[in-house]
Structure 1
Protein backbone atom coordinates (compact mmCIF):
# COMPACT_ATOMS: atom_id res chain seq x y z
CA UNK A 1 0.00 0.00 0.00
CA UNK A 2 1.17 3.54 -0.71
CA UNK A 3 1.74 5.92 2.19
CA UNK A 4 3.14 9.34 2.75
CA UNK A 5 5.49 9.13 5.69
CA UNK A 6 6.32 11.97 8.05
CA UNK A 7 9.25 12.23 10.45
CA UNK A 8 8.79 14.65 13.33
CA UNK A 9 12.19 15.52 14.74
CA UNK A 10 15.58 15.89 13.09
CA UNK A 11 17.89 14.93 15.94
CA UNK A 12 20.06 11.82 15.87
CA UNK A 13 17.11 9.39 15.78
CA UNK A 14 15.14 11.43 13.24
CA UNK A 15 18.18 11.66 10.97
CA UNK A 16 18.82 7.94 11.23
CA UNK A 17 15.20 7.17 10.36
CA UNK A 18 15.32 9.56 7.41
CA UNK A 19 18.47 7.89 6.09
CA UNK A 20 16.81 4.48 5.98
CA UNK A 21 13.41 5.73 4.81
CA UNK A 22 15.17 7.49 1.92
CA UNK A 23 15.98 4.05 0.52
CA UNK A 24 12.30 3.20 0.17
CA UNK A 25 9.79 4.21 -2.51
CA UNK A 26 7.57 6.03 0.00
CA UNK A 27 7.39 9.83 -0.15
CA UNK A 28 8.97 11.05 3.10
CA UNK A 29 8.53 14.45 4.75
CA UNK A 30 10.80 15.51 7.60
CA UNK A 31 10.10 18.44 9.89
CA UNK A 32 11.37 20.06 13.06
CA UNK A 33 10.55 23.02 15.27
CA UNK A 34 12.87 25.34 13.33
CA UNK A 35 11.12 25.03 9.98
CA UNK A 36 11.85 23.51 6.58
CA UNK A 37 14.65 25.94 5.73
CA UNK A 38 16.77 24.57 8.58
CA UNK A 39 16.64 21.10 7.01
CA UNK A 40 17.99 22.01 3.55
CA UNK A 41 21.50 20.69 4.13
CA UNK A 42 20.27 17.54 5.89
CA UNK A 43 17.88 16.65 3.09
CA UNK A 44 20.54 17.31 0.47
CA UNK A 45 22.97 14.98 2.26
CA UNK A 46 20.41 12.19 2.55
CA UNK A 47 18.81 12.44 -0.88
CA UNK A 48 16.37 9.77 -1.98
CA UNK A 49 12.68 10.32 -1.31
CA UNK A 50 13.11 12.70 1.66
CA UNK A 51 11.76 16.24 1.47
CA UNK A 52 11.91 19.02 4.06
CA UNK A 53 8.50 20.30 5.08
CA UNK A 54 6.83 22.61 7.54
CA UNK A 55 5.28 21.00 10.59
CA UNK A 56 1.70 21.71 9.55
CA UNK A 57 2.29 20.27 6.08
CA UNK A 58 3.86 17.13 7.51
CA UNK A 59 1.06 16.29 9.92
CA UNK A 60 -1.61 17.10 7.34
CA UNK A 61 -0.16 14.98 4.53
CA UNK A 62 1.45 12.04 6.32
CA UNK A 63 -0.45 8.79 6.81
CA UNK A 64 2.31 7.40 9.03
CA UNK A 65 4.17 9.65 11.46
CA UNK A 66 7.51 8.63 12.96
CA UNK A 67 7.83 10.53 16.24
CA UNK A 68 11.44 11.23 17.21
CA UNK A 69 11.17 14.21 19.54
CA UNK A 70 12.31 14.59 23.15
CA UNK A 71 9.91 13.03 25.64
CA UNK A 72 9.04 16.41 27.15
CA UNK A 73 7.68 17.63 23.80
CA UNK A 74 5.11 14.86 23.39
CA UNK A 75 2.18 16.63 25.12
CA UNK A 76 2.59 19.64 22.81
CA UNK A 77 2.74 17.35 19.76
CA UNK A 78 -0.39 15.56 20.92
CA UNK A 79 -2.17 18.90 21.14
CA UNK A 80 -1.14 19.73 17.56
CA UNK A 81 -2.61 16.45 16.32
CA UNK A 82 -5.98 16.84 18.01
CA UNK A 83 -7.59 17.98 14.77
CA UNK A 84 -6.66 14.74 13.03
CA UNK A 85 -7.51 11.08 13.53
CA UNK A 86 -6.56 7.64 12.31
CA UNK A 87 -2.88 8.23 11.64
CA UNK A 88 -0.35 5.55 12.45
CA UNK A 89 2.06 6.93 15.04
CA UNK A 90 5.42 5.16 15.16
CA UNK A 91 6.65 5.99 18.64
CA UNK A 92 10.46 5.91 18.65
CA UNK A 93 10.78 7.78 21.95
CA UNK A 94 12.13 6.83 25.36
CA UNK A 95 11.08 8.52 28.58
CA UNK A 96 14.35 10.34 29.18
CA UNK A 97 13.59 13.52 31.12
CA UNK A 98 17.21 14.69 31.40
CA UNK A 99 20.60 13.37 30.31
CA UNK A 100 22.80 15.06 32.90
CA UNK A 101 21.91 13.93 35.45
CA UNK A 102 20.26 10.96 33.77
CA UNK A 103 16.60 10.79 34.77
CA UNK A 104 13.61 8.90 33.44
CA UNK A 105 10.17 10.49 33.52
CA UNK A 106 7.43 8.81 35.56
CA UNK A 107 4.90 7.02 33.36
CA UNK A 108 2.46 6.24 36.19
CA UNK A 109 2.98 2.49 35.97
CA UNK A 110 2.37 2.36 32.21
CA UNK A 111 4.84 1.31 29.56
CA UNK A 112 6.02 4.22 27.44
CA UNK A 113 3.94 2.91 24.55
CA UNK A 114 0.80 2.88 26.67
CA UNK A 115 1.61 6.36 27.95
CA UNK A 116 2.06 7.72 24.42
CA UNK A 117 -1.07 5.95 23.17
CA UNK A 118 -3.06 7.73 25.89
CA UNK A 119 -1.73 11.05 24.59
CA UNK A 120 -2.87 10.20 21.04
CA UNK A 121 -6.25 8.49 21.57
CA UNK A 122 -7.52 9.25 18.05
CA UNK A 123 -4.51 7.59 16.42
CA UNK A 124 -2.95 4.12 16.24
CA UNK A 125 0.34 3.91 18.11
CA UNK A 126 3.06 1.38 17.33
CA UNK A 127 6.14 1.34 19.56
CA UNK A 128 9.23 0.73 17.44
CA UNK A 129 12.79 1.91 16.75
CA UNK A 130 13.35 2.86 20.41
CA UNK A 131 15.53 -0.05 21.54
CA UNK A 132 18.62 0.77 19.48
CA UNK A 133 21.00 3.63 20.21
CA UNK A 134 21.07 6.39 17.61
CA UNK A 135 24.51 5.39 16.30
CA UNK A 136 23.47 1.74 15.89
CA UNK A 137 20.20 2.71 14.25
CA UNK A 138 22.05 4.97 11.82
CA UNK A 139 24.65 2.32 10.99
CA UNK A 140 23.51 -1.19 11.88
CA UNK A 141 26.09 -3.96 11.91
CA UNK A 142 26.95 -5.13 8.41
CA UNK A 143 26.67 -8.90 8.10
CA UNK A 144 25.71 -11.44 5.47
CA UNK A 145 23.89 -13.48 8.11
CA UNK A 146 20.70 -11.40 8.07
CA UNK A 147 19.11 -8.07 8.88
CA UNK A 148 19.09 -6.05 12.11
CA UNK A 149 15.88 -6.59 14.06
CA UNK A 150 13.44 -3.80 14.89
CA UNK A 151 11.31 -4.72 17.88
CA UNK A 152 7.73 -3.45 17.78
CA UNK A 153 4.59 -3.65 19.88
CA UNK A 154 1.11 -2.25 19.55
CA UNK A 155 -2.58 -2.83 20.13
CA UNK A 156 -3.71 -2.45 16.50
CA UNK A 157 -2.83 -5.40 14.26
CA UNK A 158 -3.34 -3.50 11.00
CA UNK A 159 -1.13 -0.63 12.13
CA UNK A 160 1.61 -3.07 13.13
CA UNK A 161 1.42 -4.73 9.72
CA UNK A 162 1.77 -1.35 8.02
CA UNK A 163 4.80 -0.48 10.14
CA UNK A 164 6.29 -3.94 9.55
CA UNK A 165 6.02 -3.45 5.79
CA UNK A 166 7.74 -0.06 6.03
CA UNK A 167 10.41 -1.49 8.33
CA UNK A 168 11.24 -4.23 5.82
CA UNK A 169 11.45 -1.66 3.03
CA UNK A 170 14.00 0.20 5.18
CA UNK A 171 16.19 -2.92 5.24
CA UNK A 172 15.37 -4.14 8.76
CA UNK A 173 13.60 -7.23 10.05
CA UNK A 174 10.51 -6.39 12.17
CA UNK A 175 9.56 -8.62 15.08
CA UNK A 176 6.20 -8.13 16.78
CA UNK A 177 6.38 -8.84 20.52
CA UNK A 178 2.74 -8.20 21.37
CA UNK A 179 0.69 -5.43 22.89
CA UNK A 180 1.92 -2.09 24.16
CA UNK A 181 1.60 -3.42 27.70
CA UNK A 182 3.20 -6.82 27.18
CA UNK A 183 5.88 -5.84 24.71
CA UNK A 184 6.59 -2.47 26.21
CA UNK A 185 8.12 -3.92 29.34
CA UNK A 186 10.76 -5.58 27.17
CA UNK A 187 11.32 -2.52 24.94
CA UNK A 188 11.48 0.26 27.51
CA UNK A 189 14.78 1.43 28.94
CA UNK A 190 15.97 -1.18 31.40
CA UNK A 191 13.93 -3.87 29.67
CA UNK A 192 15.45 -7.11 28.40
CA UNK A 193 15.57 -5.91 24.77
CA UNK A 194 16.65 -2.32 25.37
CA UNK A 195 20.03 -1.40 23.91
CA UNK A 196 20.59 -4.78 22.26
CA UNK A 197 21.14 -5.19 18.52
CA UNK A 198 19.70 -8.48 17.31
CA UNK A 199 20.12 -9.97 13.84
CA UNK A 200 17.57 -12.34 12.38
CA UNK A 201 19.57 -14.97 10.55
CA UNK A 202 18.50 -15.74 7.01
CA UNK A 203 16.99 -19.19 6.59
Structure 2
Protein backbone atom coordinates (compact mmCIF):
# COMPACT_ATOMS: atom_id res chain seq x y z
CA UNK A 1 0.00 0.00 0.00
CA UNK A 2 1.19 3.53 -0.76
CA UNK A 3 1.73 5.67 2.32
CA UNK A 4 3.15 8.98 3.31
CA UNK A 5 5.05 8.41 6.52
CA UNK A 6 5.97 11.15 8.98
CA UNK A 7 8.68 11.11 11.63
CA UNK A 8 8.08 13.50 14.51
CA UNK A 9 11.42 14.20 16.15
CA UNK A 10 14.99 14.16 14.89
CA UNK A 11 16.89 13.09 17.98
CA UNK A 12 18.78 9.81 18.16
CA UNK A 13 15.68 7.64 17.70
CA UNK A 14 14.16 9.84 14.99
CA UNK A 15 17.42 9.81 13.06
CA UNK A 16 17.72 6.05 13.42
CA UNK A 17 14.21 5.58 12.08
CA UNK A 18 14.91 7.98 9.22
CA UNK A 19 18.03 6.00 8.29
CA UNK A 20 15.93 2.93 7.47
CA UNK A 21 12.73 4.59 6.26
CA UNK A 22 14.68 6.68 3.72
CA UNK A 23 15.65 3.43 1.98
CA UNK A 24 12.04 2.36 1.44
CA UNK A 25 9.71 3.27 -1.40
CA UNK A 26 7.44 5.25 0.91
CA UNK A 27 7.32 9.03 0.87
CA UNK A 28 8.99 10.05 4.15
CA UNK A 29 8.61 13.42 5.89
CA UNK A 30 10.62 14.35 8.96
CA UNK A 31 9.94 17.27 11.27
CA UNK A 32 11.19 18.70 14.52
CA UNK A 33 10.67 21.70 16.78
CA UNK A 34 13.64 23.60 15.34
CA UNK A 35 12.37 23.94 11.77
CA UNK A 36 13.26 22.50 8.39
CA UNK A 37 16.59 24.34 8.10
CA UNK A 38 17.94 22.27 11.01
CA UNK A 39 17.23 19.09 9.04
CA UNK A 40 19.13 20.02 5.87
CA UNK A 41 22.29 18.06 6.71
CA UNK A 42 20.37 14.99 7.85
CA UNK A 43 18.25 14.85 4.71
CA UNK A 44 21.31 15.40 2.50
CA UNK A 45 23.25 12.63 4.23
CA UNK A 46 20.46 10.05 4.08
CA UNK A 47 18.89 10.98 0.76
CA UNK A 48 16.44 8.45 -0.62
CA UNK A 49 12.78 9.23 -0.06
CA UNK A 50 13.39 11.51 2.96
CA UNK A 51 12.18 15.12 2.92
CA UNK A 52 12.20 17.77 5.63
CA UNK A 53 8.80 19.29 6.33
CA UNK A 54 7.24 21.64 8.83
CA UNK A 55 5.22 20.19 11.66
CA UNK A 56 1.74 21.00 10.35
CA UNK A 57 2.55 19.68 6.87
CA UNK A 58 3.85 16.43 8.34
CA UNK A 59 0.80 15.90 10.54
CA UNK A 60 -1.65 16.74 7.77
CA UNK A 61 -0.07 14.69 4.99
CA UNK A 62 1.20 11.59 6.77
CA UNK A 63 -0.94 8.47 6.96
CA UNK A 64 1.48 6.92 9.45
CA UNK A 65 3.31 8.95 12.09
CA UNK A 66 6.34 7.72 14.01
CA UNK A 67 6.50 9.38 17.43
CA UNK A 68 10.14 9.96 18.40
CA UNK A 69 9.89 12.84 20.86
CA UNK A 70 10.78 12.97 24.55
CA UNK A 71 8.11 11.59 26.87
CA UNK A 72 7.42 15.01 28.39
CA UNK A 73 6.42 16.40 24.98
CA UNK A 74 3.66 13.85 24.36
CA UNK A 75 0.76 15.88 25.88
CA UNK A 76 1.58 18.87 23.66
CA UNK A 77 1.85 16.61 20.61
CA UNK A 78 -1.50 15.02 21.45
CA UNK A 79 -3.07 18.47 21.58
CA UNK A 80 -1.72 19.30 18.12
CA UNK A 81 -2.87 16.03 16.57
CA UNK A 82 -6.37 15.97 18.08
CA UNK A 83 -7.92 17.78 15.09
CA UNK A 84 -7.07 14.76 12.94
CA UNK A 85 -8.36 11.20 13.27
CA UNK A 86 -7.64 7.71 12.05
CA UNK A 87 -3.90 8.09 11.61
CA UNK A 88 -1.62 5.24 12.57
CA UNK A 89 0.71 6.43 15.32
CA UNK A 90 3.83 4.31 15.84
CA UNK A 91 4.82 4.97 19.44
CA UNK A 92 8.60 4.61 19.71
CA UNK A 93 8.82 6.42 23.06
CA UNK A 94 9.87 5.31 26.52
CA UNK A 95 8.71 6.93 29.74
CA UNK A 96 12.15 8.22 30.69
CA UNK A 97 11.94 11.74 32.15
CA UNK A 98 15.49 11.98 33.49
CA UNK A 99 18.71 10.18 32.62
CA UNK A 100 20.74 11.47 35.56
CA UNK A 101 19.37 10.62 38.00
CA UNK A 102 17.49 7.93 36.08
CA UNK A 103 13.76 8.43 36.48
CA UNK A 104 10.68 6.97 34.83
CA UNK A 105 7.32 8.71 34.60
CA UNK A 106 4.46 7.07 36.47
CA UNK A 107 1.98 5.40 34.12
CA UNK A 108 -0.29 4.15 36.92
CA UNK A 109 0.64 0.55 36.17
CA UNK A 110 -0.32 0.77 32.51
CA UNK A 111 2.01 -0.31 29.73
CA UNK A 112 3.38 2.81 28.05
CA UNK A 113 1.63 1.91 24.80
CA UNK A 114 -1.74 1.89 26.54
CA UNK A 115 -0.89 5.14 28.30
CA UNK A 116 0.10 6.85 25.04
CA UNK A 117 -2.95 5.47 23.22
CA UNK A 118 -5.15 7.20 25.80
CA UNK A 119 -3.50 10.51 24.86
CA UNK A 120 -4.41 9.93 21.20
CA UNK A 121 -7.94 8.51 21.37
CA UNK A 122 -8.80 9.38 17.76
CA UNK A 123 -5.69 7.66 16.37
CA UNK A 124 -4.60 4.04 15.89
CA UNK A 125 -1.61 3.62 18.20
CA UNK A 126 0.90 0.80 17.77
CA UNK A 127 3.84 0.40 20.16
CA UNK A 128 7.07 -0.43 18.30
CA UNK A 129 10.75 0.47 17.90
CA UNK A 130 11.18 1.39 21.58
CA UNK A 131 13.13 -1.62 22.87
CA UNK A 132 16.45 -1.09 21.09
CA UNK A 133 19.10 1.48 21.97
CA UNK A 134 19.28 4.23 19.35
CA UNK A 135 22.73 3.10 18.19
CA UNK A 136 21.51 -0.46 17.71
CA UNK A 137 18.38 0.71 15.94
CA UNK A 138 20.48 2.83 13.59
CA UNK A 139 22.97 0.04 12.92
CA UNK A 140 21.49 -3.37 13.73
CA UNK A 141 23.65 -6.46 13.56
CA UNK A 142 24.43 -7.64 10.05
CA UNK A 143 24.19 -11.39 9.78
CA UNK A 144 23.18 -13.92 7.16
CA UNK A 145 21.19 -15.78 9.81
CA UNK A 146 18.26 -13.36 9.74
CA UNK A 147 16.99 -9.89 10.59
CA UNK A 148 16.77 -7.91 13.81
CA UNK A 149 13.38 -8.26 15.50
CA UNK A 150 11.06 -5.33 16.16
CA UNK A 151 8.36 -6.25 18.66
CA UNK A 152 4.98 -4.54 18.38
CA UNK A 153 1.80 -4.41 20.42
CA UNK A 154 -1.56 -2.68 20.16
CA UNK A 155 -5.31 -3.02 20.09
CA UNK A 156 -5.88 -2.40 16.36
CA UNK A 157 -5.02 -5.59 14.45
CA UNK A 158 -5.17 -3.94 11.03
CA UNK A 159 -2.91 -1.08 12.12
CA UNK A 160 -0.40 -3.61 13.47
CA UNK A 161 -0.39 -5.45 10.15
CA UNK A 162 0.33 -2.21 8.31
CA UNK A 163 3.12 -1.30 10.71
CA UNK A 164 4.52 -4.81 10.29
CA UNK A 165 4.70 -4.31 6.52
CA UNK A 166 6.55 -1.01 6.98
CA UNK A 167 8.87 -2.70 9.47
CA UNK A 168 9.73 -5.39 6.91
CA UNK A 169 10.37 -2.75 4.26
CA UNK A 170 12.85 -1.16 6.69
CA UNK A 171 14.79 -4.42 6.84
CA UNK A 172 13.56 -5.66 10.22
CA UNK A 173 11.46 -8.64 11.28
CA UNK A 174 8.22 -7.70 13.10
CA UNK A 175 6.93 -9.88 15.93
CA UNK A 176 3.42 -9.17 17.23
CA UNK A 177 3.16 -9.51 21.00
CA UNK A 178 -0.61 -9.00 21.07
CA UNK A 179 -2.50 -6.25 22.87
CA UNK A 180 -0.93 -3.59 25.08
CA UNK A 181 -1.84 -5.63 28.16
CA UNK A 182 -0.48 -8.83 26.65
CA UNK A 183 2.83 -7.52 25.39
CA UNK A 184 3.29 -3.90 26.39
CA UNK A 185 5.07 -4.43 29.70
CA UNK A 186 7.57 -6.73 27.97
CA UNK A 187 8.55 -3.81 25.72
CA UNK A 188 8.80 -1.16 28.41
CA UNK A 189 12.00 -0.10 30.15
CA UNK A 190 12.88 -2.88 32.58
CA UNK A 191 10.75 -5.39 30.70
CA UNK A 192 12.02 -8.73 29.50
CA UNK A 193 12.54 -7.52 25.92
CA UNK A 194 13.92 -4.07 26.68
CA UNK A 195 17.44 -3.31 25.52
CA UNK A 196 18.01 -6.69 23.87
CA UNK A 197 18.59 -7.25 20.17
CA UNK A 198 17.00 -10.45 18.92
CA UNK A 199 17.61 -11.97 15.50
CA UNK A 200 14.83 -14.00 13.89
CA UNK A 201 16.69 -16.83 12.21
CA UNK A 202 15.67 -17.64 8.66
CA UNK A 203 14.42 -21.15 8.09
Tell me which interval the TM-score lies in, with the shorter structure as reference length: over 0.9
**How far apart, in 2, do the equivalents of 1:187 and 1:86 lie?**
24
Question: Does 1:184 find its partner at 2:184?
Answer: yes
Counterparts of 2:64 and 2:172, CA distance in 1: 17
Aligned to 1:171: 171
Q: Deviations over 1:130-152 (max 9, x none)?
A: 00000000000110000000000
Gaps in structure 1 of 5+ consecutive residues: none
- The correspondence of residues 106-117 of structure 1 with structure 2, limited to 5 A, is 106-117=106-117
- RMSD of aligned Cα (Å): 0.4
Distance 2:25 2:68 in 1: 21
Shift in Å at residue 197 of structure 1? 0.2
| 1:201 corresponding residue in structure 2 | 201
Instruction: Mark the runs of 5 or more structure 2 residues left unpaired by the alignment.
Output: none
Spell out, residue by residue over 1:85-138, the C-alpha distance to the aligned partner (whole angstroms, 9 max, x if none).
000000000000111111000001111000000000000000000000000000
Q: Counterpart of 1:149 in 2: which secondary structure?
A: strand
Task: Provide the residue aligned with 1:31 in structure 2.
Answer: 31
Query: How many equivalent pairs are there?
Result: 203
Q: Shift of the alpha carbon at 1:180?
A: 1.0
Looking at structure 2, the residues matched to 95 and 75 of structure 1 have their Cα atoms a distance apart, in angstroms, of 13
- Looking at structure 1, the residues matched to 198 and 56 of structure 2 have their Cα atoms a distance apart, in angstroms, of 36
